[in-house]
Structure 1
Amino acid sequence: MLSLTALAATAAERVDVGVFAPGSLTEWESRSFEGKTDYRLSGDGESRVLEAACDGTASAIARRVPVDLKATPVLHWQWRVDGVHEGLDERSKAGDDFAARVYVIRDGGLLKWRTRAINYVWAGSSEAGQHWPNPFTDQAMMVAVQAGPPDDTGAWVSESRNVRADFERFYDLDLDTVDAVAIMTDCDNAGGQAAAAYRNLYFAPE
């Protein structure tokens, strides 16, 4: 039997956010911006993933899960895209469409103006490593983690970001916790279609 100390250490090793093997999205809430992106689970058992497809639509799914950034500051995830929205001015409202987004949210609670988010995107026009304020709100920062069409359509790409360091870099905030993670595949501003898939979202120590 594990001691309480060992259990605490094990719990601190990772915080699962989007491990879809159990086969349910009941802990995820939907928010529509324009129609609804189609989110569905596919595959079986440990190979189950979240697939997303949009057709002139934009909606996100989010899960509220408090994360201790002092213990587990690094967000890991895997994603794939069938293609990207090319030729858009992604810094404009008309071009704010992305085949895949994963974003982390610090909720301001009743003080909504204190909410902050970092939006990690698979960009179509921007270069990987670039960042810019979201054109709809100054409470979200866009960060291009991947850019351009995938080298191998259907191939999974693994990512990791130190969320605590990113909040300090982009907002000059030294956060101990964040409150939620969201996923979105959207096509509403420029129209068109896009498809992506997500799996294995979790926080871990540095």
Structure 2
Amino acid sequence: MRRLAVVVALTLVGLPSLAGVTEYSVQDIAGWERERFKGETTYEVDGEGLKARCGNSASGLFLRQTIDLRATPIVEWSWRVEHVYDGTVDEKTKGGDDFPARLYVVKDGGIAVWRTRAINYVWASKMPVGADWPNPFASQAHMVALRSGPPAAPGAWVHERRNIREDFKRFHGRDLETIDAVAIMSDCDNRGGTAEAWYGPVRFLSE
């Protein structure tokens, strides 16, 4: 599956900027635009959060919105996974480019699609925490492993906090004032497996 589609599909014109603190509930996220690449990962709100069920599929939920990184450079969210994938497959290859949970942030290149850039925060199966590498389908998207391996305990939620502006400087060499989209995705199409993950609210903060 060509992950380049994730990057270049997010073409945006003239959407309003966010200011202050903005929170998207799991109900909000469930209403984001669906983007299908192979089959369909299902997303539904349950008693714990937004549950993703992946079965040889890859599809995500996208918010196409200009986000002002001068006002809200920080993104926070929580997530958990039921299990991870077989750790024998190299996640830096196309065959291993599946993750039970991901969150994207995207800067759209407009008609110059080659200028589009994305950071893809993932829950890895094998790559160690802190590892980063170019996406094997599209080098414009950079992968960052925030978690690795199975959860510490069944049902354990973990909290993430990233400075998006600093991460774009580090991984893409760009000091951005805005990004244009945020997305979540659970995918298992390259391995032909299954996965279950849960996502909590996503927040954009000043600090």
- Which residue does the alignment assign to 2:20? 13
- Which residue does the alignment assign to 2:116? 115
Tell me the TM-score normalized by structure 2.
0.87
Q: Does 1:56 align with 2:56?
A: yes
Larger displacement relative to structure 2 (58-67 or 118-127): 58-67
Query: What per-residue deviation string (whole Å, max 9, x for no partner) do you get for residues 68-87 of structure 1?
Result: 10111010000000011132
- Which residue does the alignment assign to 2:39? 35
In our comparison, the structure showing a higher alpha carbon Rg is: 1
Which residue identity is paired with 1:14? V
Tell me the TM-score normalized by structure 1.
0.87
Deviation at 1:65, TM superposition (A): 2.0
Query: What per-residue deviation string (whole Å, max 9, x for no partner) do you get for residues 154-196 of structure 1?
Result: 1110000000000000010000001110100010001111000
| 8 A Cα contact 2:21 2:205, kept in partner | yes
Which residue identity is paired with 2:98? D
Query: What per-residue deviation string (whole Å, max 9, x for no partner) do you get for residues 81-138 of structure 1?
Result: 0011132200000000000000101111222111110000000000000000000001
Q: Which runs of 5+ in 1 are unaligned?
A: 1-10
- Which residue does the alignment assign to 2:65? 65
| 8 A Cα contact 1:83 1:153, kept in partner | no
RMSD of equivalent CA atoms: 1.5
- Which residue does the alignment assign to 2:4? none
Deviation at 1:41, TM superposition (A): 1.3
Deviation at 1:13, TM superposition (A): 3.5
| 8 A Cα contact 1:119 1:141, kept in partner | yes
| 8 A Cα contact 1:15 1:67, kept in partner | no
d(CA) in 2 for partners of 1:151, 1:25: 27
C-alpha distance 150-25 of structure 1, shift in aligned 2 (>3 A): closer
Deviation at 1:21, TM superposition (A): 4.7
How many equivalent residue pairs? 189
